[in-house]
Structure 1
Amino acid sequence: MTAAHLLPPVPDDDGAPFWEYAARGELRVQHCADCGEPRFPPRPCCPHCHSFTSDWRPTSGRGRIWSFVIPHPPLLPGYAELAPYNAVVVELLETPRIRLVGNVVAAPDAPLNSVPPARLRIGAGVRAVFTSPGQDGLRLPRWLLERS
């Protein structure tokens, strides 16, 4: 299974800017334009001050593994041939309350099982890269382990 076989995202009105920036290779997070608080997943109203204004601020694309799992057995039959693979929750460095789900891979277009599970550690540094699932110019963020 290659990146073209990944489940593509289904953008909604609130999250569409996230995917537009990702298509350009940028990892951005929605922030309240009034109080400055970040919010993810994207939504129309700030949960802190209830403002309906927002902007999308760039991040460095760096984070750390906050949690991970190696699915046994894979939940989707089409992914069984890739087991074992990882699913990670990454906490962004600039906005630690923001956590994104993805996979740690060896290269942007590498298969999901390209990083041995034994290499993953809670707290390990990662950086975002992007791959195309082969549809409509959308690109998915994935994660590379940073060398420490």
Structure 2
Amino acid sequence: MMTHSASQPFAGPGPDAQFAAALAQGRFQIQHCAACGQHVFYPRALCPHCGSARLGWVKASGAAQVYSSTTVRRKAEAGGDFNVALVDLAEGPRLMSRVDGVPPEQVRIGMAVQARVIDDPAQGKLLVFVAAARGEA
């Protein structure tokens, strides 16, 4: 039987490990606070809105909108340019990712995007966004 101490208040894998495990199975999940009703991302042990530990995992809709984007310049032999985007999920949280399938300079603030979990040969499962089809975001 495991007891809790001040130095180890939670047993089992932490919230980021739980997020990573779901992503490894191709599932994009975010946390939802049962106490205040807010959605949370980045995974946490306590709700940043109300301080409650009553955070559960829910499937994210994946619908989002680009809040900000920048282009990272790289030589073609290093993989070429790519974008880094901040996206606002329909559920509320903002996260950092990238928008695939669109040249980096064409990613626009306010652009409707949809989450996808992809297999990256070097990094495994990644959460990226693609331009949303009409009616999708």
SS of structure 2 residue aligned to 1:15:
helix
Return the alpha-carbon distance in structure 2 between the equivalents of residues 132 and 117 of structure 1: 20
Structure 1 position 70, deviation (Å): 0.4
Return the alpha-carbon distance in structure 2 between the equivalents of residues 64 and 47 of structure 1: 22
TM-score normalised by L of structure 2: 0.75
Letter in 1 for 2:83: N
Asked if 1:131 is matched to 2:131, the reply is no
Q: Which residue of 2 aligns with 1:142?
A: 128
Q: Which residue of 2 aligns with 1:81?
A: 78
Asked if 1:100 is matched to 2:95, the reply is yes
Structure 1 position 32, deviation (Å): 1.6
Return the alpha-carbon distance in structure 1 between the equivalents of residues 65 and 77 of structure 2: 27
| 1:16-31 correspondence to structure 2 within 5 Å | 16-31=17-32
Return the alpha-carbon distance in structure 2 between the equivalents of residues 68 and 118 of structure 1: 9
Letter in 2 for 1:45: L
Q: Deviations over 1:48-104 (max 9, x none)?
A: 3221121011121111111100024x5xx9x972232111111111x22x1121111
Letter in 1 for 2:117: F
Higher relative contact order at CA 8 Å, sep ≥6: structure 1 or structure 2? 1
SS of structure 2 residue aligned to 1:86:
strand
Q: Which one has a bigger Cα radius of gyration? A: 2
Number of equivalent positions: 122
TM-score normalised by L of structure 1: 0.70
Q: Which residue of 2 aligns with 1:3?
A: none
| CA root-mean-square deviation | 2.5
Structure 2 unmatched ranges of 5 or more: 1-12
Structure 1 unmatched ranges of 5 or more: 1-11, 107-114
Return the alpha-carbon distance in structure 2 between the equivalents of residues 23 and 51 of structure 1: 27
Percent identity reads: 30
